[in-house]
Amino acid sequence: MPAVVRKIFEEEFTKRFGVVDSIAVNSGTSALIAALWSLDLQPGDEVITTPFTFIATTNAILIAGGTPVFVDIDPVSKLIDPGKIEEAISSKTRAIVPVHLYGRMCDMPSIMDIASRERILVIEDAAQAFGASCRFDHEPMMEPCAHEYSKGSMKAGTIGDVGCFSFYKTKNFSTFEGGMITINYPSRMDGEKIRAICDQGQLGKYNHEFVGFNFRMAEPLCLIGLEKLKIHERAYMAELGMRDESHGHYPNVVYEQPAYRLRGITGDCPIAESAARDIRDR
């Protein structure tokens, strides 16, 4: 099956979500790794996120060379608490990775205001919120700003500099395996570099400008995704909001896992710890 199928899927995704570009990849994890990898993180560079997530989110930060800094969740939404993000920002902070869960979106207006003020990149983990949206009822706090919002509704994965989606079989939009990276408007990240990283660092055939990997999505899976975009929009929208944290599987927050303890990575997020214990003990 020719690679043109992937291109058509990406173009259709770009049109449906109103973004600058879309890059089909083999998993949501690969989407996060490629986006973070493109930042050329140096030892000590920090990326703020939540420990109440699947460990792929923070593994991607480590693989890309960064250090995850954990911010606690809101006790009601179970999503990262914007009020605590600013406290975690340091001179080493390069990016924020808000994680949308259970079809619910993080408070992106507040997060984008913080990111704009602090000049920090935002990479959305939208693996569990395909098709979800939130409202922007105000303009950015700072002018000039890298982001220009239109008042109204914006979809998960289209608000930050980059959005990362998963199409795994458990997701409401699934190709069994796969994912997508969206380059949003206006993005401060290099979309061409991210695309190259997903294809062994190539910019043109056998011209390897960067160190990369094979993150490309297989064409047969792209075909599944393309057809689902055409015929299942109502179905995947209906699924949003039907699952909540009772369906989650976070027996321990990320920084309690042995691989993170071994590296001395810790966090202090008691609300996330409590929510994880509740799910584990249920």
Q: Could you tell me the end-to-end alpha-carbon distance of the chain, in angstroms, rounded to an integer?
A: 46
Written as one letter, the residue type at 197 is I
**Which pLDDT does position 1 carry in this prediction?**
43
Q: Is residue 280 part of a domain?
A: no
Query: Residue 200 is part of a domain; what is its CATH number?
Result: 3.40.640.10
Each residue's pLDDT tens digit, 252-281: 899 999 999 999 999 999 999 998 888 777
The answer to whether 216 and 210 are in contact (CB under 8 A) is no
Q: In what order do the strands lie in the sheet with 21-25?
A: 21-25, 179-183, 162-166, 121-125, 93-96, 46-49, 67-70
Compute the mean pLDDT over every residue in the chain, rounded to the nearest whole number: 88
User: How far, in Å, CA of 257 to CA of 252, rounded?
Assistant: 7
Q: Is residue 257 part of a domain?
A: no
247 or 136, greater pLDDT: 136
Q: Is residue 208 part of a domain?
A: yes
Q: Is residue 279 part of a domain?
A: no
Q: Is residue 249 part of a domain?
A: no
Exposure string for 153-168, b = 16+ CB within 10 A, e = fewer: ebbbbbbbbbbbbbbb
Q: Is residue 246 part of a domain?
A: no
Structural domains counted in the chain:
1
Residue 28 domain boundaries: 4-241
pLDDT of 42 > 80? The answer is yes
Q: Is residue 56 part of a domain?
A: yes
Q: Is residue 266 part of a domain?
A: no
The band of 26, judged by pLDDT with boundaries at 50, 70 and 90, is very high
Name 55's Cβ contacts closer than 8 Å, sequence gap at least 6.
254, 257
